[in-house]
Structure 1
Amino acid sequence: MVIRAVAFDVGETLIRDDRGWVAWADWLGIPLHTLSALVGAVVTAGRDNTDALRLARPGVDVAAEFAAREAAGRGEQLDESDLYADVRPVLGALRQAAVRVVVAGNQSATAGALLRALDLPADAIATSGEWGVAKPDPAFFARVVELSGCRPGEVLYVGDHPVNDVFPVRAAGLRCAHLRRGPWGHWWADDPEVRAAADWSVDRLDELLPLVGAQP
């Protein structure tokens, strides 16, 4: 089936998560190398990223601390420097090839506004915080398909996280490309179950272009 739309995860697919983890380390008073090691531990165990915060600060209410950061003016920030270098060229090439480009990930409503402010070459940008439903819920991918304006099998979803971006994508009937990027992408890239579930495994975003007949 022809791919008519490509939908992208956000964290460690389009943007680096470095800034976010540095902000959390500063806010909670945790040495960055300690928090980084704990992130690695939860990644290899297949646990949620926020479990690293709970390991570093047992009993922490992550949602409450997130709100407190916002209230203190130390909330989310995002600018051009957070984008991976291949993002604009690849998204631009896809649109030039008349492929619809969607950005949809598990981020807050604030992050959605920050992403739109970057003026990416994308047809639509949405976040779980705006939709009120997050990956891996099937309803999230139903919204992705709706935003894409195509049938599920005509949509290619690209992401780094097996539990959020590979297994539920396949179950929802979309095509899937697992990206070897970020801690999750690197650690799980060669896992047999991930390889079997993903239609493609890629190391860079430009490897997507031949899949949809686009030129770099």
Structure 2
Amino acid sequence: MSSPVRVVIGEDDVLLREGIARLLTEAGFDVVALAGDADALLRKALAYQTDVAVVDVRMPPERTDDGLRAAIELRRRRPETGVLVLSQYYEPRFALDLIGQRPEGVGYLLKERVGDVDAFVEAVNRVAGGGSVLDPEVVGRMLGRRSPDSPVGLLTARERDVLAAMAEGKSNQGIAATLVVTEAAVEKHVTSIFQKLELIPRAAEHRRVLAVLTFLRDADK
């Protein structure tokens, strides 16, 4: 039997930190450490060699983007650790800074999503497995800001819907359920997206995260 996913939680609000810990423990995760500031988060994540770090963007000591900077440093020093960042506000630049050139094993959610227990647990699991997760609200706003002269501008409306769902971390099956289409139709759209974004044939999952990264860069222009 496989070992449970090991998690460290960085959150300065005690009630929220304990609530997330209890939620994840009840879902079968092994919460090995809790941290109330960015320095402690980085230190404990490295010491315990955790599988996932759940991190608040704004943490002590400065309460600006300390948690985000700690998460970025954790990804640099221990790439195998997945990072799921929680933010109280819509801040697309934070998502882009976190993802950098490597969207594997990273997630960015608004804090309100923690209340959707099933979706939150799924997000932690996906990040632990090397996938990527973006909050639907963030994806929606980024899609609205896309640059018309970019490769993403070549996509049809339905293909943009599929790409947005991919950015949220959905599988083809999940996209089909969301858009109420067949999986075969989704596969056709995904193939077209890869072609229009000029993503050369590689492992399917790798091309998916490259497509998501193209989408994010385009939205930030």
What TM-score range do you get, normalising by the shorter chain? 0.3 to 0.5
With CA pairs under 8 Å and 6+ residues apart, which has the higher RCO, 1 or 2?
Answer: 1
Give the structure-2-normalised TM-score. 0.32
Under a length normalisation based on structure 1, what TM-score does the superposition of the two structures give?
0.33
Higher share of residues assigned helix? 2
